[in-house]
Amino acid sequence: MNDHRLPYHLDSWIALGMLLAALLIAWGLSQKSSAARSLATATAATLCALTTGWFLLIASTGIFENPRPPLFPTDAIKPTVLFVQAAVTFVAAVFLCWAAVKQRQRLSADQGELRNSQSSYGTISRSLHWTTAVLFLLLIPMGVFTSMIPEDVEWRQGYYVVHKTLGFVVLFLLILRLFWHFASPKPKLDGQLTNWERRSAKSVHFLLYVFMIAFPITGFVMSTFGGKLSHIFIWDLPLFWEMDLEAIKPWGLLHKLVLPYLFYLIIIAHVFGVLKHHFWDGHRESIRRMMS
């Protein structure tokens, strides 16, 4: 039974620390003070640097040369995927350090409003957005590495506690976001967007929600069919049905193979769209609505 923990619940403390860092980033990006924004950006840079450092530390242990036996054929490319993600994270850390130093105060007429307006997102929407985004971006490399950890590594179970805890936190935040969208409708899309850009933006946002909700649900079902407990900080969730090693296969295929690689395409499209509107099309207000 996977109900053991790291000493002093260190795994739960690590998960809590990552959540608090995400909340700090989200809070800072929702403030009108340039000092708060710089602090949030510096915290994001620190998280990126720690993620890169974590990868280098893991690489030095030799796990990449002797990982857990692969479950799917694509598991063989996971070390390469992690190398790419580590390189992207390092570049992001450098860029965010520069951005933290260059951060300037930007004020908005809607700054400080809790609810959304027709032209800008309110503080609650921005905070939920950035907290979810930070945690999910942390979960991506964590998820890639989960199936590579050898069975005999002593911190393997603690790693799963952190991963599963943050997965449930993201699911909870997404549910809050959906309820909040009904209570406070989102601003209308930028009027300068073409019809196909509007349709693309709506489709990508819809798919992002579907994927981010599907990840924790499929992970939970997969773990339960495998007879493994799921965790939320110091609490273990009960097994709601019997172990079934045949039923685990389609859920494992979804969680470990189909969803991750499709999600890479969706998140790349999302980031590309944001950057295109901001730098290529010159629609500066598109990104500022979520930042100010």
Confidence of residue 234 (pLDDT cuts 50, 70, 90): very high
Residues 61-105 have pLDDT tens digits of 888 888 888 877 778 888 888 889 899 899 999 988 988 887 654
Secondary element (H or E) of residue 197: helix 195-225
Q: How far apart are CA 85 and CA 94, in angstroms?
A: 14
Secondary element (H or E) of residue 236: strand 235-237
Which of 127-131, 259-263, 274-278 has the weakest average pLDDT? Answer: 274-278
**Rounded to two decimals, what is the model's pTM?**
0.87
pLDDT of residue 110: 44
Please give the angle made by the CA atoms of 52, 53 and 56, to the nearest 5 degrees: 90
Residue whose C-alpha is closest to residue 22's, from 64, 50, 61: 50
